[in-house]
Amino acid sequence: MAQISYQQQMSTASIFMFDLRQTDGKKVEKEFRRPVEVTLPYPPGADTANMSAFYLDEENNFWKMVRIGPGFEKPEINASSGTITFRTIHFTVFALMTTAGEADLSNAVIYPNPFKPFDNRFETGSKYSAGDQYSGIHFTKLTANTKIRIFTIDGVPVRSGLVSSAAGTCLWDARNDEGRDVSSGLYLVLAEDPKALGEKKFIGKIAIIR
């Protein structure tokens, strides 16, 4: 039977580490066959209106919002118990943080990259599905109202009209302006915000493998 160890560290965000191990002490690395429910306490006075649950992508060293979509309901906040509950298919480091846009575009992130919607792996993403906030391609650590355009590697326009949320995030469904799935290849991402306090432009690349 597996055992769960739990550690908590309180700082500017509430950070929790979950570790699943077998009885011989070996860490379980595989994803779970079914989602499990996790309930975490948040500190008194937390801004629950803008609070979300995140997990640490240890390979790329940045935080990703926990999955939301079919089988993964939106995290539920219980004000009476001071807890937030969500579902996950793997244990790692989780954090409860308030979301807000960045001051500039110097730390913009694209994930998953490469995007492989049909390889059935959590880390490489899944084909866009309405209501599943973890599907598609994500841009994070943007300013609010960052405008994003996608081009082929040769500079041919592919997608326009993408705008980040107040939380500094944006989702691309990997479709072009005509609503068709883009083909496999390397694409350029141009993100711009002329009102950013620092870096006003970000140019990145995203690989799509179908």
Domain for residue 138, yes or no? yes
| 92 and 114 fall within a common domain | no
Q: How far is CA 76 from the centre of its chain?
A: 18
CATH of the domain at 55: 2.60.40
| 121 and 78 fall within a common domain | no
Choose the final residue of a domain: 34, 69, 98. Answer: 98
Number of domains making up the chain: 2
Domain for residue 24, yes or no? yes
pLDDT at 70: 55
Q: How far is CA 3 from CA 95, 133, 195, in A?
A: 21, 30, 50
| 93 and 167 fall within a common domain | no
Would you call the peptide bond into 41 cis, given omega within 30 degrees of 0 as the criterion?
no
Look at residue 104 and tell me whether its pLDDT is greater than 70. yes
SS3 180: coil
Q: Give the mean model confidence (pLDDT) for residues 121-132.
A: 80
Look at residue 11 and tell me whether its pLDDT is greater than 50. no
Higher pLDDT, 14 or 178: 178
pLDDT at 13: 61
Percent share of the chain, pLDDT over 70: 89
Q: What does the pLDDT look like over 164-176, one tens digit per residue?
A: 988 888 999 999 9
- Mean confidence (pLDDT) of the chain: 84
Lowest mean pLDDT among 58-67, 86-95, 168-177, 190-199: 58-67
| 40 and 119 fall within a common domain | no
Domain for residue 67, yes or no? yes
Choose the final residue of a domain: 41, 65, 98. Answer: 98
Q: Which domain holds residue 93?
A: 3-98
| 121 and 188 fall within a common domain | yes
| 86 and 164 fall within a common domain | no
| 29 and 93 fall within a common domain | yes
pLDDT at 147: 97
